[in-house]
Amino acid sequence: MKQLMKTWISSMLGELLILATITPVSAETGVGILPINGTVSGELTESDSSKIYNLTLEEAGRFTIDVTSSLSNRAYIEFVDEYNDTVYSDALYGSAETPAREVTSIDLEKGNYQFMIYDDYGKDDVGKFKISTRFSPMKTNDQEPNNGTAQAQNLAFGKKTLGYLSEQDRIDVYRVELTKAGRLYFDFTSSVENRAYFQLTDDYNNSIFSKAVYGTWNNPGKYAPYIDLEPGTYYVHIYDDYGYDDTGKYELTSSFVPALNQEMEPNNGTVEAKVFPFYQTRTGFLSWNDYIDVYKIVIPKTSRVSIDLTSYVANRAIVELLDDENNRVASEYLYGSSKAPSRYKENLTLNKGTYYLSIYDDYSHDDTGKYKLRVTSSHLLPVLSINKVTARSTKVSGKTEKGATVTMTIGKKSYKRTADAKGNYSFSISKQKAGTSIKISSKNKYGSSVKTMKVSK
C-alpha cells in the first residue's frame, strides 16, 4: 500500500512539473515565465481576462514569438521592455473554430521583458491561446554604447566589424582617424530589414555622403563606397532612420590607401600659394575637403614655359593659369579617372612676372583624386653660343654656363667636354666641308640647350 501511494505521489508530482513547464504561471502573482525556446499555453476567462509572462535575455539576438489565439473575437498582445516601452503590439481576430495566428521576429538587446495577452478588459473575448518562442543569439563585436560621436567605437582598417541594430539600439557610430591624406574605402553588407542608412560625417558634423542600403536577412544589401579625404577624424553612422522597425545585423570593413601627395597645405588661393619647383614632378591631391590647389610660378625673364599635368581625378579636373592681375592665360578641362588618366601639356611663352597655376574640381566636392605636375622653363637652361666655323677652321668653340656638359655632334660621331669656370668650351676638329652641320648641346641639372650651325666657306 505504501509503495502504491509513493508511486501515485510521484506520478502526480511529474504531472505538476510538466504543467509548470508548459504553463509556468504563478498562482500568487498571476505572472508566468516566457521560455526563451519553448511553448506556453493558457486561457482567458471572464474572471481572468489577462495573462502576463516575464522574459529575461542574457544576450542580444532575434526573438521570435508565434501566437495562436482561439479567443472569440479578439485578443490583444503587447510586448514591453524593462522601461515599459512597447516593443511590439497587435490585435488578433479569431475564434475557437478558426484560430488567429501571428508570428513576429524582433531584434532585441539583452534585458528584461514582459509579454501580455488580454481582451482589452471587455471580459467578453475569452478562449485559449498558445505562445511559442525561438531565440537566435547575435554574436557581434561592436562595443556598446556607441550611439553618437562622443561614444564612437574606433574602426580599425582591414578588420571586419559585426554590428547589430535592434529595437532598443537603432544607431551605431564608428570613428575613423586619418593621419594622412588618401582614399578611404568601405565594404558594407546589411542584413537589416529592410533599410539601413550608411552615413559618413567629418568632425564638424558635416555630412560627406549618405546612402540607404536595402536588404533582408537572407538577401543582404551591399554598399562599397570610397572617398578621397584629408587627414582628420571622421565618423561612420549606421542607423535605421529612427523608424524602430528596420533592425538586424551588418558587417563593416574599411581600408585606406595614402595619396602620398607632396603639396604643402594650405595652398587654396593666391595668398597661400607656394612656389612650384621647376623641372620636378610633384604629386598633388584633390579631396572632398580640399578641392583646389594653387601654385606660384615665378618667371625672372621672358621664357618658354611648359606645363605637363597628368590627372587621375575622377571625373573632371580644371587647370587654369592666371597672371598676377588675375587675367586668364590658359585653361583646360581634363576628363579622366584613376584607371584612364588624362593629360594636359601646354607650351607657353611668358613674360617676366608671377603667375598662378590652379588645379581644382569646380567646387563640386565630387571630382577628386591624384595628379602629377611638372613645370619647366627655358630661363633655367644653360645659355649657349657657338663661334663661327669655316671650311678652314680646326676647332669649334663658344660660351655656355660654367661646368655645363657640352656635346658636339658631327655626322654620327659625338664628343663631350666640360665648360670651364668662365663657361668657355672648345673642340678640335679636322677641316670640314662648307655646309656640314655641327650640333652643340649644353646640359645642366635642368636640361639641355641645343643649337645647330653649318660650316661656312
Walking along the chain (457 residues) 10 residues at a time, the average pLDDT comes out as: 40 38 42 96 92 96 97 94 94 95 96 94 84 96 93 97 94 97 98 95 97 95 97 97 82 98 95 97 97 97 98 96 97 96 98 98 86 98 97 97 98 97 97 97 96 96
Burial class (CB in 10 A: 0-12, 13-18, 19+), 414: exposed
Q: Which option is the CATH number for 274-379: 3.30.465.10, 1.10.10.10, 3.50.50.60, 2.60.120.380?
A: 2.60.120.380
The Cα–Cα gap between 28 and 44 comes to 17
**Cell numbers of 323, please?**
597672371
Residue recorded with cell 525556446: 37
Indicate the helix (H) or strand (E) that contains 227: strand 226-229
CB contact at 8 A, 320 and 341 = no
Q: E strands along 13-143, which residues?
A: 31-33, 38-44, 50-57, 61-69, 73-81, 86-94, 100-108, 111-118, 127-137
Shared fold status for 274-379 and 384-454: no
The Cα–Cα gap between 35 and 31 comes to 13
pTM: 0.84
Which pLDDT does position 19 carry in this prediction? Answer: 36
3-state helix, strand, coil in the chain (%, to 5): 5, 55, 35
Side by side, the strands of the sheet bearing 100-108 are: 38-44, 127-137, 61-69, 100-108
CATH of domain 149-258: 2.60.120.380
Q: E strands along 82-193, which residues?
A: 86-94, 100-108, 111-118, 127-137, 153-154, 161-165, 171-178, 182-190
**Cell numbers of 128, please?**
485559449
Phi then psi for residue 212, to 5 deg, are -90, 120
CATH of domain 21-137: 2.60.120.380
Phi then psi for residue 200, to 5 deg, are -120, 130
The Cα–Cα gap between 93 and 99 comes to 8
| CATH level 3 topology of 384-454 | Immunoglobulin-like (2.60.40)
The Cα–Cα gap between 19 and 32 comes to 12
CB contact at 8 A, 363 and 380 = no
Which pLDDT does position 73 carry in this prediction? Answer: 87
| Domain ranges, ordered by start, for the chain | 21-137, 149-258, 274-379, 384-454
The Cα–Cα gap between 145 and 214 comes to 25
